[in-house]
Structure 1
Amino acid sequence: MLVGRKYRLAFTPEQVEMAEEFGNICRAVWNTGLEQRREYRRRGAWVGYAHQTREMAEAKAEQSWLKAAPSQVLQQTLKDLDKACRTHGAFGVRWKSKQRWQPSFRFPTPDRFSVERLGRKRARVRLPKFGWVAFRWSRPLGGSVKSATLSRDGNYWYISFLVETGTSGPAVSLERGRVGVDRGVVTLAATSDGRFFDRRFITPGEAERYRRLQQQLARTQKGSKRRKACQAKLRVIMRRVRDRRQDFHAQAACEVVDGNALVVFERLNTTGMTATARRSVAEPGVRIRQKSGLNRSILDKGWHSFELAVRNRARRTGAMVRTVNPAHTSTTCPVCGHVHPDNRKSQARFVCTACGHKEHADTVGAKNTLARGHAGHRAWRPRHRPVREAPTSVNPQGSSAPNP
């Protein structure tokens, strides 16, 4: 089984400068390769990874700045671009913006680097052109390293190892329990067995400070040092929020998946649901403030991230994850099957107008989701891919302990 292991690096100033340079070169290669693919598509032709790799090798003879980065790093960038274009199309892939993009590059061959443990909390890794780089040993590798990816998050650099544990995932079986999951904007997730998972990811003090920093950012000039400093402070707050969200999703996924053989989600198009009201074709510019508030609530809960955490956990336990059509799941009575908009009296109150059944509306949605998934809808089966291990317990009241 392939798993991921992420550690914080302790770069020297020279190594930080080198990593930034490699990241900028990878960004330039991505944007140049994407522009080439789009130009080929405009002419009705197609260009692939092999052709672009040959052209990049020829460009190294003329452009000396390309030689600074290892060849395998640039090749992996073109591989990622090829995969993205095959999945989304050349015009559906985004540019790597200098302001928004966080540098990231990958070393794919394990024989080019080695890992040594120096103490209880210290270790080091030897990387091409970097030499020895120290990092914090926060958890054991647990297997043989297949590749290493370097990425920057704010002011810190991290290394992620792809590790082969030598064990196979358990077989998929439906002999255990089954659970349906309903995601919402008030509560992150409600299950068909009556459990609720939710917490606040940003404290009131951080929310107030974030609002003041946004006001300060609006008064700065683009490209100024003051603006960059303000953006750095905003990223620090949002990184804390993102880490808390990811940690809670991983813990909640353990509670949902463990002991169950089938987990059913509603098939939600999060990207379309969070589109701005300004782009609406039917009623452009209508109810923009209300739509913006709904979008923030959906994105703050992290619906897609939670589903990914459940899928990753299911890969370890042998559970199956299915997605079903979400139409009328919250207005259908799970007892008599009566469907009517008046069944849902409020956000949390469900009263069937036919049989009088009363229950929490989110629980009703989860039960209907499970019923559709158990009836046999499109299934997702576990695949071998890197996952983030998570603790096996979560406090539904909102407290969560950091990972070891």
Structure 2
Amino acid sequence: MGELVWEKRQFGHRARLALTPAQARLMDDQAHAARSMWNQLHDLWQMTPKCQRSLTRMDQTLRQARKEIDWYAALPAQAAQAILKTYMQAWRNWWDGRADEPNFKARFRTVMSVDIPQGRDLQIKRVHRRWGVVNIPKVGRVRFRWTKDLPVGKHADKDNRITGARLVKDGLGWHIAFRVQTREPKPEPHTGPQVGIDAGVNLPLALSDGNHQDHGQPPRLPDGTADRDKWLNPDEKAKLLRLEQRAAHRKSFRKPKDHNSNRLHRTYDQIKQLRARATRRATDWQHKTTTAIAKRYGTVVVEALTITNMVKSAKGTIDQPGKNVAAKSGLNRSISQEAWGRTVTMLTYKTAHQGGTLVKVPAPNTSLRCSACGFITPDSREDQATFVCKNPDCGWSANADWNAARNILHLYRMGHALVPAAGRAVVRRTRGVKPATAR
């Protein structure tokens, strides 16, 4: 038996906060101050000549703004410094081609968040089987849902500790995302079987061995259109429809260039709550499904998809209008709801944690090639869900997503792997040139 090898692991854990109305107002003030500070930094960066841009100049401006603007005092000093670091990192991500160019953050379209960069400021303590208490700077002691054991108290040391956190608000309220660092034994190589996975719309995850993963709900309505609210029960869907109709009615009374009324904002908040609940259920299904796959299979093979190109609009231009624009819009919406990219991200780190491997293979023709004979024809898809081989000597038919999953696994066995699980494909580009796949 070999010597036990230890490795550091970093992961995040998100918990829901139980705030009083006064604490919620303080958190909102911090988030609005953080957004305004980001916009001020971006404004200064755009106005400063390139030869004079520097981290020192930005830091001095930030400190001066905190002295002159009263409501900036709601934001802790460490959180303000974290905004500066995040802003500079955003520019580095753009220069390296990993993200879009940083821009201004709008009030109603930006996720409200505040960073707590130092873990020692949190002072976490477990007070109940289901509840813990965390210290939030300039807010005080706040309860949060204890759903996972955290390295706090006597269980914390230099290798197992919480390094920081981020406060995030969605339609369901404020949450805290802990950054956890642990020291764990390096997993042994996974000896499980190989499997190919095809991400689809009718069948969320089709596996090459037939053990398909479905979320138990029909992805399409009887008329064939995509059900954009499939994660809500019938009562929630009816409530969402009433709220959307109410919002449209109240919006009809708004004059051009006028602000939305408080009633309309309250209606929008109720819609956000239902949307956030659906997103939470979808993410929970993804976590449970990808964990089960990572524990069962040693090698997971997926397609190298460029999802941003797949969900582009088909409306075209005035001179060359597109065809089947409504159908393509419904398909784009269904692809976005399935969140294929997030599924691959989860599989990547979960297979590595279990000692397995995730591999990507080329995507072209995996849906059009017959997995029984290898024959490729453009009209082999009878419909969205069925594949029929047009080879006169074959004629094999099966679920289209299952056929694609078998082809994906076959490509890996033939040596067409592109990206191993432990590595992340980073496309380098010339500075200032925006890639087509940038998010």
Shorter chain as normaliser: what TM range? 0.7 to 0.9
Is contact 1:37-1:46 (8 Å) kept? no
For residue 401 of structure 1, what is the aligned residue in structure 2? none
Is contact 2:361-2:416 (8 Å) kept? no
Is contact 1:38-1:91 (8 Å) kept? no
Q: Distance in 2 between matches of 1:197 and 1:269?
A: 22
Alignment map for 1:174-213 (pairs within 5 Å): 175-199=191-215, 200=217, 201-213=231-243
For residue 38 of structure 2, what is the aligned residue in structure 1? 30
Is contact 2:15-2:145 (8 Å) kept? yes
Deviation at 1:244, TM superposition (A): 0.9
Deviation at 1:83, TM superposition (A): 2.4
For residue 331 of structure 1, what is the aligned residue in structure 2? 368
Alignment map for 1:94-113 (pairs within 5 Å): 94-113=103-122
For residue 57 of structure 1, what is the aligned residue in structure 2? 63
Deviation at 1:44, TM superposition (A): 5.6
Give the superposed CA RMSD.
Answer: 2.6
For residue 230 of structure 1, what is the aligned residue in structure 2? 267
For residue 219 of structure 1, what is the aligned residue in structure 2? 249
The reply to whether residue 79 of structure 1 matches residue 85 of structure 2 is: yes
Q: Distance in 1 between matches of 2:211 and 2:249?
A: 45
Match of residue 363, structure 1, among 384, 399, 402: 402
Q: Deviations over 1:256-283 (max 9, x none)?
A: 2223222122222223322333466984
AA aligned to 1:5 is H
- Return closer, same or farther for 1:294/1:106 CA change in 2, 3 Å cut-off: same
Aligned residues with identical type, % of pairs? 28
The reply to whether residue 3 of structure 1 matches residue 19 of structure 2 is: no
For residue 322 of structure 1, what is the aligned residue in structure 2? 359
Deviation at 1:202, TM superposition (A): 2.5
Deviation at 1:94, TM superposition (A): 4.3
- Return closer, same or farther for 1:348/1:245 CA change in 2, 3 Å cut-off: same
Is contact 1:9-1:136 (8 Å) kept? yes
Match of residue 163, structure 2, among 146, 157, 160: 146
Deviation at 1:155, TM superposition (A): 4.8
Q: Distance in 2 between matches of 1:280 and 1:195?
A: 43
Q: Distance in 1 between matches of 2:418 and 2:135?
A: 45
Alignment map for 1:259-274 (pairs within 5 Å): 259-274=296-311
Deviation at 1:87, TM superposition (A): 1.9
Gaps of 5+ in 1: 385-404
- Return closer, same or farther for 1:342/1:91 CA change in 2, 3 Å cut-off: closer
| Partner SS state of residue 100, structure 1 | coil
Is contact 1:169-1:317 (8 Å) kept? no
Q: Deviations over 1:299-349 (max 9, x none)?
A: 222222222222232232122222222111011122332211233333232
AA aligned to 2:196 is G
Q: Deviations over 1:201-255 (max 9, x none)?
A: 2233333332332222222235112211211111121111111100111111123
Is contact 1:260-1:319 (8 Å) kept? yes
The reply to whether residue 342 of structure 1 matches residue 379 of structure 2 is: yes
Which range moved further: 30-39 or 313-322? Answer: 30-39
Is contact 1:179-1:260 (8 Å) kept? yes
Q: Distance in 2 between matches of 1:125 and 1:340?
A: 60
Deviation at 1:20, TM superposition (A): 0.8
Q: Distance in 2 between matches of 1:281 and 1:48?
A: 45
For residue 4 of structure 2, what is the aligned residue in structure 1? none
AA aligned to 2:404 is G
Q: Distance in 2 between matches of 1:75 and 1:282?
A: 50
Deviation at 1:119, TM superposition (A): 2.0
Deviation at 1:25, TM superposition (A): 1.1
Q: Distance in 1 between matches of 2:328 and 2:319?
A: 14
Q: Distance in 2 between matches of 1:280 and 1:192?
A: 40
Q: Distance in 2 between matches of 1:346 and 1:272?
A: 22
AA aligned to 1:145 is I
For residue 227 of structure 2, what is the aligned residue in structure 1? none
Match of residue 421, structure 2, among 381, 397, 400: 381
Q: Distance in 1 between matches of 2:384 and 2:323?
A: 23
Is contact 1:179-1:263 (8 Å) kept? yes
Deviation at 1:383, TM superposition (A): 7.5
Gaps of 5+ in 2: 1-8, 152-159, 218-230, 425-439
Relative to the length of structure 1, the TM-score reads: 0.85
Which range moved further: 353-362 or 89-98? Answer: 89-98
Deviation at 1:49, TM superposition (A): 4.5
The count of residues paired between Structure 1 and Structure 2 equals: 381
Match of residue 337, structure 2, among 300, 305, 328: 300
Deviation at 1:70, TM superposition (A): 1.1
For residue 275 of structure 1, what is the aligned residue in structure 2? 312
| Partner SS state of residue 342, structure 1 | coil
Q: Distance in 2 between matches of 1:156 and 1:263?
A: 36
Is contact 1:180-1:366 (8 Å) kept? yes
For residue 88 of structure 1, what is the aligned residue in structure 2? 94
Q: Distance in 2 between matches of 1:46 and 1:292?
A: 46
Is contact 1:121-1:137 (8 Å) kept? yes
Q: Distance in 2 between matches of 1:356 and 1:62?
A: 76
Q: Distance in 2 between matches of 1:226 and 1:276?
A: 33
Q: Deviations over 1:26-83 (max 9, x none)?
A: 111222223344456xx66584555422331233333333333112111212222222
Match of residue 128, structure 1, among 121, 130, 137: 137
For residue 16 of structure 1, what is the aligned residue in structure 2? 24
Q: Distance in 2 between matches of 1:114 and 1:151?
A: 19
